[in-house]
A and B are shown apart, each in its own frame.
Chain A
């Protein structure tokens, strides 16, 4: 498959401290790709290097079969993690200016997106009059206004209420269907689990997992039970770990444990509303990987 982004042996250090250490990955054309890891893992640094905002110490980056140039920047859309806009400009002024910086006359597209995001009534308001969530939507529109081929979204869900989160998710899925290449960077792994085709997991500047979400999860075995229950969970033989969230729990089984036996024990202990044998969540895998290193 044709690659949209090729990153090879990328490294960057600040003050002798390695922030990104020998990272390599590819993003295929039309793929929704997750760059995941905890806060401070080096995700944003990688993104800034992708955009030529900072330069890598070593390594190579090719995007859309090109090294970074002014022309190429017009084909990339970017929603940074740090949200900020000109406070005194109106919504439309902001969008038209940011579009113009991508060499686009963007008025119609701006209006179209504002409509879609339910922001049309606010188009002549100043940015400072908008709520934080609204500003975030404006930034997202700014990232998409020039119809980019490659879209980078750094923590796109942070600070959004559930309604807006769904709105943004739907938009990302729609863009994916349109054949855009999308890179989502986030520490909220359950969010990308269902949206991303493939992921690259980074921890302390080093790549720890790389591949399709399904492949990674099955690599870590069918040894997880998702449980909905009423009552109190205690230690269960054959269960290595319980991620308990009250009425819902993720049970990590030991290698040779039989889920049937576990169910019997559980049935005696609590009222079981749902019992599902599943693959581990990315979150769980990540914790395992990190604790293992």
Chain B
């Protein structure tokens, strides 16, 4: 076995047993499904039909409760003082006043016994239905329904590639977000381990023994490849967990199959972007690790780069809602952000081929250069214990290397 392979194997086997790795790998899916579960429960709770008893005072003489289907629990008051008393006495949950100039202004005064935003939305919906039903009482019910919900949309794209039915709704947002989140997380975990490993070996000085056996390049290659394999393992575990969760529940799997289409080319691109995204971050972390004197310092420096990597996630809404805007395009071309940003764009829009090619070429070239640079910095500053090289010294080393 060549030496880098020995190192890669060692890195893989020791890091896969780390508590941090197990926590991220198995904790994240648990955490996410817990959050999803909880929000489903709350969504359910929110839609429970709470009992509303709504009173109203009509100063226009246009509104009636009688003869209207679907409109229940509305009580007409002629005396506002009485309505007020019933509200305080909990006989009403709300009452509202329709002023004389309502038809001209649309003003409605709503009184509640307590302040609650979610309730307001519900009550407004009910009052709206009540008002519409009254205003349109001479129209057939379909018209009333259409006025309530004039559009139920379906989108198609038509271009030289033919006609395509586009998905809509929450699924289209969920895929790129979940995808890029896991993606970023995995890249950060593995390259973080690399940083930690380098600083640790430097701190406990075993690096000297290792370097008396292998070259700097072999050491770096071995670490990068071993931990990269770890990142792929992590993603594989997530996919298996996700797949089994989906397959266990037939309604969800039906939903997923009908709503989410992950195409083979998209997976292929994701794979390429993942590998290069990881390589570029791993090389940066290796360089940072070589320069840093303690792991805390290393993490601080690395934080700057991680922030750049997390950029697309912070701006996820801009990328998703306007995937062909300047910001989204720039992020999907700049090498540190392109892996995540491009995957987001690819999963929601048709990215022109030339943009994809530019983004990939830039990513590959900068990965190569950063790797070379890291090996040189690694070699130059590795054994300057206790002393962080200055920028000038670093430049000098890199030239010498």
Binding site for B on A (CB under 8 A): 14-15, 48, 51-55, 70, 73-74, 76, 78, 80, 82-89, 97-98, 100-103, 139, 142-143, 152
Chain B residues positioned under 8 Å from A89 (CB to CB) = 14
Give Cα A54–Cα B6 distance, bound, in whole angstroms. 23
**In the complex, are the beta carbons of A101 and B205 less than 8 A apart?**
no
Taking the closest CB of chain B, its distance from the CB of A13, in whole angstroms, is 12
**In the complex, are the beta carbons of B213 and A53 less than 8 A apart?**
no
Q: Which one, A48, A54, A98, contacts B209 given CB within 8 A?
A: A98
Give Cα A89–Cα B384 distance, bound, in whole angstroms. 26
**Which residue of B is nearest A54, CB measured?**
B383
**In the complex, are the beta carbons of B205 and A80 less than 8 A apart?**
yes
**In the complex, are the beta carbons of B212 and A103 less than 8 A apart?**
no
Give Cα A48–Cα B400 distance, bound, in whole angstroms. 18
**In the complex, are the beta carbons of B205 and A83 less than 8 A apart?**
yes
Interface residue? B215 (CB, 8 A): yes
Interface centre among A87, A100, A142 (most CB of B within 10 A): A100
Give Cα A80–Cα B201 distance, bound, in whole angstroms. 14
25 A-B residue pairs with CB within 8 Å: A14-B384, A48-B208, A48-B383, A51-B211, A51-B212, A70-B3, A73-B214, A76-B212, A80-B209, A80-B212, A82-B205, A82-B385, A84-B203, A84-B205, A84-B209, A89-B14, A97-B10, A98-B209, A98-B210, A98-B213, A100-B10, A101-B7, A102-B213, A139-B209, A143-B209
Give Cα A102–Cα B383 distance, bound, in whole angstroms. 21
A70-B3, A70-B218, A102-B213 known; A78-B208 Cβ under 8 A:
yes
Give Cα A86–Cα B213 distance, bound, in whole angstroms. 16
The A-contacting residues of B in range 351-401, CB under 8 angstroms, are 379, 382-385, 393, 400
**In the complex, are the beta carbons of B3 and A101 less than 8 A apart?**
yes
**In the complex, are the beta carbons of B383 and A53 less than 8 A apart?**
yes
**Which residue of A is nearest B7, CB measured?**
A101
Interface centre among A55, A86, A87 (most CB of B within 10 A): A86
**In the complex, are the beta carbons of A84 and B211 less than 8 A apart?**
no
Chain A residues positioned under 8 Å from B213 (CB to CB) = 73-74, 98, 101-102
**Which residue of A is nearest B6, CB measured?**
A100
Give Cα A97–Cα B6 distance, bound, in whole angstroms. 8
Chain A residues positioned under 8 Å from B215 (CB to CB) = 52, 70
Give Cα A15–Cα B385 distance, bound, in whole angstroms. 14
Taking the closest CB of chain A, its distance from the CB of B5, in whole angstroms, is 10
Identify 4 new A-B residue pairs, CB closer than 8 A, beyond the known A84-B207, A87-B204.
A70-B3, A88-B14, A100-B6, A101-B210
**In the complex, are the beta carbons of B214 and A70 less than 8 A apart?**
yes
Taking the closest CB of chain A, its distance from the CB of B401, in whole angstroms, is 9
Give Cα A142–Cα B206 distance, bound, in whole angstroms. 11
Give Cα A15–Cα B390 distance, bound, in whole angstroms. 11
**In the complex, are the beta carbons of B3 and A78 less than 8 A apart?**
no
Binding site for A on B (CB under 8 A): 1, 3, 6-7, 10, 14, 201, 203-215, 218, 379, 382-385, 393, 400
Give Cα A54–Cα B213 distance, bound, in whole angstroms. 14
**Which residue of B is nearest A79, CB measured?**
B209
Taking the closest CB of chain B, its distance from the CB of A29, in whole angstroms, is 20
Chain A residues positioned under 8 Å from B209 (CB to CB) = 78, 80, 84, 98, 139, 142-143
**In the complex, are the beta carbons of B7 and A80 less than 8 A apart?**
no
Give Cα A76–Cα B212 distance, bound, in whole angstroms. 8
Taking the closest CB of chain B, its distance from the CB of A92, in whole angstroms, is 14
**In the complex, are the beta carbons of B212 and A85 less than 8 A apart?**
no
Chain B residues positioned under 8 Å from A82 (CB to CB) = 205, 208, 385
Q: Which 10 A-B pairs have the closest CB atoms?
A: A84-B205, A84-B204, A82-B205, A78-B212, A101-B213, A80-B208, A84-B206, A53-B211, A51-B212, A100-B6
**Which residue of A is nearest B207, CB measured?**
A84
**Which residue of B is nearest A14, CB measured?**
B384
**Which residue of A is nearest B206, CB measured?**
A84
Chain B residues positioned under 8 Å from A84 (CB to CB) = 201, 203-209
**Which residue of A is nearest B401, CB measured?**
A55
Chain A residues positioned under 8 Å from B393 (CB to CB) = 15
Give Cα A51–Cα B203 distance, bound, in whole angstroms. 20
**In the complex, are the beta carbons of A53 and B205 less than 8 A apart?**
no
Chain B residues positioned under 8 Å from A70 (CB to CB) = 3, 214-215, 218
Taking the closest CB of chain A, its distance from the CB of B222, in whole angstroms, is 9
Chain A residues positioned under 8 Å from B205 (CB to CB) = 80, 82-84
Give Cα A48–Cα B385 distance, bound, in whole angstroms. 13
Give Cα A55–Cα B206 distance, bound, in whole angstroms. 19
**Which residue of B is nearest A142, CB measured?**
B209
